[in-house]
Amino acid sequence: MYPSRRKAALHYQEPARSHRLMGMLSRKFTILRLFFLCLFLAFISMLWLQFSCSTDVSRRAQESQALDPKPCSHEHIAISEDDPSWGPHKLALVVPFRERFEELLSFVPHMHEYLTKKRIRHRIFLVNQVDHFRFNRASLINVGFLESGNDTDYLAMHDVDLLPLNLELDYSYPDNGPFHVASPDLHPLYHYKTYVGGILLLTKVHYEMCNGMSNRFWGWGREDDEFYRRIKAAGLQLRRPSGITTGYETFRHIHDPAWRKRDQKRIAAQKQEQFKVDRDGGLNSVHYTVASRTEMTIQGAPCTVLNILLECDLNQTPWCSFG
């Protein structure tokens, strides 16, 4: 009796175990399928994301180029200054400068490529004011002239935020008199007739005839208006570009006034002095110290950085300091 019941019990236990085993296998198979399905979906998602991002980046890059075209491609130019077709003259590109590094990174490569395309022998001098006085553009240009060396025979007084875009502009040796490249008809901001700022070319002989620029202008503005009077007093004829059809699109002005404010304050007697002609001071009276001189390249474009400490006579120009 008991053996038969035991056999019956065994008989009924075997199907139960079989069902449990099948259930476990079925669940494992389902989980495995779900695992591989998730992997497949994740792979498809990654491919779609990669495609979408690549397309979006490409589209944004195209839009950026359309809205803000770069003035220079910085492509390699396979020509050399040793080529006789470049002529005998060499330009000292003098750039008065202070703390405008984001503009400098655009300016140096652009101007090196631009002048190289035009076969203009050149050296770029970044005259960086590192003292604690107010900015003095005219004095820095005087320093750039004195420190530019004997291998250059003419100079460009060149703003760091003004990039020429038209290759028809003339940067050649101005033997017939000062040549105002950024003329009022072309400059994007300043259009009055006596304006000579932005970019002005002079031979070194003509610059000495003007006794350089006045050192009395601390802060922004007016030094180029006074220099216009010096040009006339020296008996020199100012010339400007002709036949340029690009108008106010001839240059790219990269200065952002919202980001970098100009020092236009007029302190004490400075309000009256700014309209006077400095008949005595200039190239012969600039006092400075060269803190350092460094040869460097920016995106492959060579330049010379002169860190300059200007001196100020507080009795003559007390407005050189805010204090």
Q: Which residues of 9-43 are buried (b: 16+ CB within 10 A; e: fewer)?
A: eeeeeeeeeeeeeeeeeeeeeeeeeeeeeeeeeee
More confident residue, 94 or 14: 94
Nearest residue to 274 (alpha-carbon basis) of 311, 323, 225: 225
Say which residue, 64 or 314, is predicted with more confidence.
314
pLDDT of 1 reads 47
Predicted TM-score (pTM) of this structure: 0.73
Owner of token pair 């002529």: 87
**Mean pLDDT of the 239-262 span:** 83
Backbone angles phi, psi at 232, to 5 degrees: -65, -40
Could you tell me which residues come within 8 angstroms of residue 302 by beta carbon, excluding any fewer than 6 positions away?
Answer: 112, 123, 124, 295, 296
pLDDT digits (tens, 9 = 90+) for 146-177: 999 999 999 999 999 999 999 999 999 999 99
69 band by pLDDT with thresholds 50, 70 and 90: very low
Residue 133 · residue 310 · CB < 8 Å:
yes
- Looking at the predicted structure, is the pLDDT value of residue 294 above 50? yes
Q: Judge whether residue 86 has pLDDT over 70.
A: yes
Q: How far is residue 120's CA from residue 71's CA, in Å, rounded to a whole number?
A: 18
How is the beta sheet containing 179-180 ordered, strand by strand? Answer: 179-180, 199-203, 154-158, 91-97, 122-129, 301-310, 288-298
Pairing relation of β-strands 162-164 and 91-97? unpaired
**66 pLDDT more than 50:** no
CB count in 10 Å sphere of residue 254 = 17
Cα→Cα distances 138→84, 220, 285, Å: 34, 10, 12
pLDDT higher than 90, residue 89: yes
Give 267's pLDDT tier (boundaries 50, 70, 90).
low
Q: Is 74 exposed, middle or buried (0-12, 13-18, 19+ CB in 10 A)?
A: middle
User: Using one digit for the tens of pLDDT, what is the confidence trace for 122-131?
Assistant: 999 999 999 9
Confidence class for position 259, pLDDT limits 50, 70, 90: low
Ramachandran angles phi, psi of 148, nearest 5°: -80, -10
Q: What is the pLDDT of residue 42?
A: 64
Q: What per-residue confidence (pLDDT) applies to 256?
A: 63
Q: The dihedral of CA 126, 132, 138, 140: what is its sign?
A: negative
* pLDDT score of 2 more than 80: no
Q: Contacts by 42-48 with C-beta closer than 8 Å and gap 24+?
A: none
d(CA 140, CA 133): 12
**What's residue 79's pLDDT?**
59
Percentage of the chain exceeding pLDDT 90: 53
pLDDT at position 7 over 50: no
Under the banding of pLDDT at 50, 70 and 90, the label for residue 68 is very low
User: Region 271-295: what's the mean pLDDT?
Assistant: 86
Residue 170's pLDDT is what?
A: 97
Alpha-carbon span 263 to 223, nearest angstrom:
14
- Residue 18 is predicted with a pLDDT of 53
Say if CB 91 and CB 118 are below 8 A apart: no
| Choice between 15 and 319, residue whose per-residue pLDDT is larger | 319
Token pair listed for 14: 């075997």
- Mean pLDDT, the chain, whole residue set: 81
- Mean pLDDT, to the nearest integer, of 226-233? 94
Q: Quote the percentage of the chain above a pLDDT of 70.
A: 68
- Tell me, what's the pLDDT at 191? 86
Question: What pLDDT does 44 receive?
Answer: 66
Q: Record the tokens describing residue 16, joined without a space.
A: 């139960």
Residue 67 pLDDT grade (very low, low, confident, very high; cuts 50, 70, 90) = very low
- Per-residue pLDDT, 73: 45
